[in-house]
Structure 1
Amino acid sequence: MRVADNYRLVYSVDSRKRVVCLMMLDHRDKIYDRLGADENGEPGFRIIAGAQELVRRELTPEELAMAHAVLEQMRSQKETASSDCPLPMQLDSITLSNWGIPAHYHDALEVVGTDTELLELEDVPDDIIEKILDCLWPPTIEEVMQKPVRVAFNLDHIEEAADGKRSLASFLLMLDEEQLEFLTRFQGDKQPQGPWLLKGGPGSGKSTVTLYCIRELLGSLRQLNLFEEDRPLRILHTTFTKSLERASDHLLDHLDLGVTRNKVEVKTVDSLAFWNLPVEWKQLRAVTPGEYVKAAIAECNKQIPKFSFTLDDAHFLAEEIDWVLIGQGICSLGEYQEYDRTGRGRALGQHQRRHLWQLYEVLQKLLRQDGACLFSERLKVAADTVTPQYDYVFVDEAQDLKAV
């Protein structure tokens, strides 16, 4: 598609999903190179997606010979290539301004001559450098096709992105058919009732689906008129780290939730636990068990004849205390001796379990003397004292959390 006189826009249409996807937008002098134009400047024919019957067919001898020649050329270029690649153009203030690069970075960028110099700039943020790299070496159509598709819920959002006021990361990823099917649990004319469990491998989009679920839930509750002022509905979205909390908050702010956005709180599990602790526990400093377990082992070796563990066992003992004794909410030696530890990777007899429990008691004493507690202890105490506060709770990265 022609845009004004000098720009070209490339887009794809999925009529089944009723989706139009913006693929590329660039100056006419560059767009055809990115599309793989031939020597006459005409776009070449290349299979970039679909048409598997063509992709999987047997190659002719001529095509195989051409492929081998291209591979040899690529190997030769790789062997002779310099580690310092000159920039395809000199960076100047006008170009950087057109790319939306803040003026206070221009002086540092205008003296850069190679990609290595650009990547090693210490005073320019990574996202700015990444933006410049994309402008200097824009991706080909094949590379674009491999990138995930993001969804714009509002035309204004596209204009904000074009003006540099909105990052691409603020757009949610598009869901596939299986993920869209999961959203139906939050749609309809009845109030959604959990619990729900969403499983998937790393990078499969679980966190993205969670945010879509919150969006659909708010839409359903709005239609059911469940936002009365005398009953302020509250939704909690928990994450595992502060960075995930910030990212989730940022994405929720750009989901067009309107006035219902204030119905959703995003918190890490640790911060949620802290605010539900009794006053005396809030005064304790939260630590990891490492060094304290080593001190407890040394103390136990002095107090307990033929103690079952040494300093070499410190990591194992810290994990056992964190994930089993505290993480599973075990409150007594008897309960621990009955607990099924299948899958922990190391068997423990009754004698060893008794010694480990004694170590745990010494560890707690050392922590309190130092005005400290374990992060996992905070979770256990908060779980014992918390009262219901939310109507819906979404737990992200649940596999990283302890049972308590």
Structure 2
Amino acid sequence: MGSIRVRESTQKLFFDFHYLGKRCREQTALENTASNRKKLESILKRIEAEITLGTFEYHHYFPNSPRAKEFTRQAEVQRAREAHDTPLFEAFSKDWLDEMKIQWRQSHISTVEGTLKNYLNPYFGEKEVGRITKKDILDFRASLAKVTTRSEKHLSASRINRIMTPLRMILSEAANRFEFSSPYHGIKSLKVPRTDVEPFSIDEVKQIIDTVRPDFRNYYIVRFFTGMRTGEIDGLQWDHVDFKRRQILVRQALVQGRLEYTKNDGSFRTIEMSQLVVDALNDQKKATGKMNFVFCTRTGSPLNHNNITKRVWYPLLRHLGLRKRRPYQTRHTAATLWLAAGENPEWIARQMGHTTTEMLFRVYSRYVPNLTRRDGSAFERLLLTEFDSSTHASAEEVFNEK
């Protein structure tokens, strides 16, 4: 049984009762009078009756109590257990997405919404989150491997992993909230083949720059010699070009037609401009200097990279007889050219927006034979020196002398 008690230090009345195995003491602002006691005792009777019936909602009576949120969650879990019931996947995933939106860029929100609409809800929507099994998940992933795209290709391992990520997050949150073991536990991502970079040689770059349409010459000079990502150069505005310090300030990117902040802290960076880039941007300013975007349409709107790729980039490669490669290879080209020129790897990493130099050596070193001096040339010179000094001695004689 609960009771109404008085706190000696303040002479204010407070509730003292037990709920879900815990003692609860909730302070009131009422003075210790007979009428106030009678009023609170009436409320306490209702509380105890609702606890007995299983309908008590702690936050309805004590909305400002630190315990309200905790008890509300426990009550939900208890009711779900008693009813052997959890929300349907589609309803729960909607609540989950609404809670997560504040953390994500709009482009990522759109991607997750598309994944839910096209893949997850059609398969899991009518299932209770607490009744989804590991077999359900594995069957769903197997079904994705049979899906074909518009170009009649199967979904890649990387694409399947991206579809599975929201599912893992949703089930993990549901498991925490309703206290069951996530069925996703132990399921690993599909192994993704390493993507090989295909940078252009300096001769190929020169061919492209010399041949491309004049109105896109500056665009591709900046792409090839700054290492900017597609969204970064398409979202570049004149406010972020500092001619005095010869710097490009990468602060935003154009993603799905919207300007958004850069995707991570490393991408938020300053690029040092070479003279070739400075000259290209000075020339570009004559054409678009009165617009907001550095590279834009005649009306000032940003470029549509898919349109440019299909109408300018691929036709140009075909015309030059060069192997078809995505425009993103201009970024890889910048990295390999800087490395081949002997620039400091840490400086290159900052230019590229990498937080460490590890990716440079892992991804690009094979395109620069003398980058790490691990190409066998040092050993080759040693042998040549030894054999030259041996005046026609055989290899066996030289090594026997050693």
TM bracket (short chain): under 0.3
* Greater RCO (Cα-Cα under 8 Å, separation 6 or more): 1
TM-score of the pair, normalised by structure 2: 0.26
Kindly name which structure, 1 or 2, has the bigger radius of gyration based on alpha carbons. 2
Q: TM-score, normalised by structure 1?
A: 0.25
